Amino acid sequence: MPVTLKIFIAALLINNIILMRFIGLCPYIGMTTDVKQSIGMGFAVTFVMVMASTVTWSLYYFVLVPLGLEFLQILIFILIIASLVQLVEFYLKKAAPALYMSMGIYLPLITTNCAILAVTFDNITGGYTFIQSIVYSVGVALGFLLAMLLLAGLRRRVRTSAIPAFLRGNPILFVLSSLIAVSFMGFAGLIK
Amino acid sequence: MSRRLSVFLQGLVIENPLAVIMIGLCSALAVTTSVANGIGMSLAMTFVIVASELIISLFRKLIPESIRMPIFIIVIAAFTTMVDLVMKAYFPELSKAMGVFIPLIVVNCIIMGRVEAFASKEGPLDSTLDALGMGLGYTWVLVGMAVVREILGNGTLLGFPIMPESYQPILFFVLPPGGFLVFALFISLNQILKKKWLESPLGCPDPEGGK
């Protein structure tokens, strides 16, 4: 199996960012009350994640490393992501109002989404090349979308089921996630 | 009960950042596979939230309303970088075990939320108390989860074996699904505590009129 495909599958299923690594749990719990909403959020995250990876990777290797400023990584990356999201928002508002209507409301929320920041750090610590980092971010983002969709679908069923009193409300969501995570562990043997 | 004390106690149970407001969950579930990691993460987090709330509260009148968010982020990122570098230098093993979760403190919604909702409006003393309360509320859930997960999943506590030798560790609890399940039980526990607390004479009236 080619390395890039391995990276993609590992990011999508085996190390699913939400279910296996617990990153990006806030939108996972907060934005899955409705299937449509979770899809919107998922695609907005995909878009921003790929862009953020591209920009932060280039910046790290072409600016921070030559100048010896690696210790500023956290500060610079979070600022880059915040301003990038703002720019995208302005651009979409002007150039593609239809897309903005469907995706725009999620964009401000993404700035402080740990999934985006985590992926940009992973690209550096994993030592990926430029192409690999893009493949990795697409894999992670689709994994995020998949997990969001699964929970959103299950939450529909939960609304009409009888749940033990001590698990009503938020606890049941985590019990569900636990069960989804168990099934995702089955993917662990996919890559040798 | 004095106002100061109630500011401090809010974060423990009634407004517990993890179990009630449900923010900043990522690190809580990921690092609680061992008690040492749980304590390390709680200390790092408490330091960043106390320092950020104090600094922002001191400068709250100087920060222009329109660009407050970027300023908050820079302050939080600066303290996070400090913690990250100190941990890498003095506790390399702990830093390695927690990996990306130390830099991720910067986007931990608990800090951003408290800075925005509390420190940008109240004085330095109140802000510090609020931060300490939130930090302590975060700590008890984190350490509690870590204790349960390490004992059941590994048979040890802080690395020392405490279960009888015949005990077969339930690996499930240190794996990701176990984290979700233990957290579900902790939210449930906190809901019961919150109910008891509000009924007891210690319970302070909910500032927003009981929601």
Condensed to tens digits (0 to 9), the pLDDT of residues A52-68 reads 999 999 999 999 888 98
Residue B78 lies in a domain: yes
Domain extent at residue A72: 3-190
Q: Is the entire prediction scored with pTM above 0.95?
A: no
Nearest residue in chain A measured CA to CA from B192: A166
Residue B60 lies in a domain: yes
Domain extent at residue B23: 3-147
Distance from C-alpha of B31 to C-alpha of B86, rounded to nearest angstrom: 18
pLDDT tens-place string over residues B181-190? 998 998 888 8
Q: Does B112 contact A112 at a Cβ distance shorter than 8 Å?
A: yes
pLDDT tens-place string over residues B85-124? 999 999 888 888 888 888 888 888 788 888 888 888 888 8
> Could you say which of B26, B99, B184 has the minimum Cβ distance to residue A174?
B184
Confirm or reject contact between A177 and chain B (CB < 8 A): yes
Confirm or reject contact between B86 and chain A (CB < 8 A): no
CA B178 distance to own-chain centroid:
19
Residue B164 lies in a domain: no
Residue B85 lies in a domain: yes
Q: Does A182 contact B177 at a Cβ distance shorter than 8 Å?
A: yes
Residue B176 lies in a domain: no
> Could you say which of B30, B106, B184 has the minimum Cβ distance to residue A21?
B30
pLDDT tens-place string over residues A115-143? 888 899 889 988 899 999 999 999 999 99
pLDDT tens-place string over residues A83-95? 888 888 888 788 8
Beta-carbon pairs below 8 A across chains A and B: 111
CA distance A98 to chain B (A): 28
Q: For chain A, what is the domain count?
A: 1
Indicate which of B23, B105, B107 best probes the interface with A, i.e. most A CBs within 10 Å of its own CB.
B107
Indicate which of B188, B192, B194 best probes the interface with A, i.e. most A CBs within 10 Å of its own CB.
B188
Q: What is the pLDDT of residue B51?
A: 94
Q: Does A74 contact B84 at a Cβ distance shorter than 8 Å?
A: yes
> Could you say which of B81, B104, B180 has the minimum Cβ distance to residue A118?
B104
Residue B181 lies in a domain: no
Confirm or reject contact between A52 and chain B (CB < 8 A): no
* pLDDT for residue A175 is more than 80: yes
Confirm or reject contact between A82 and chain B (CB < 8 A): yes
Q: For chain B, what is the domain count?
A: 1
Write out the two tokens for B117.
Answer: 């909702």
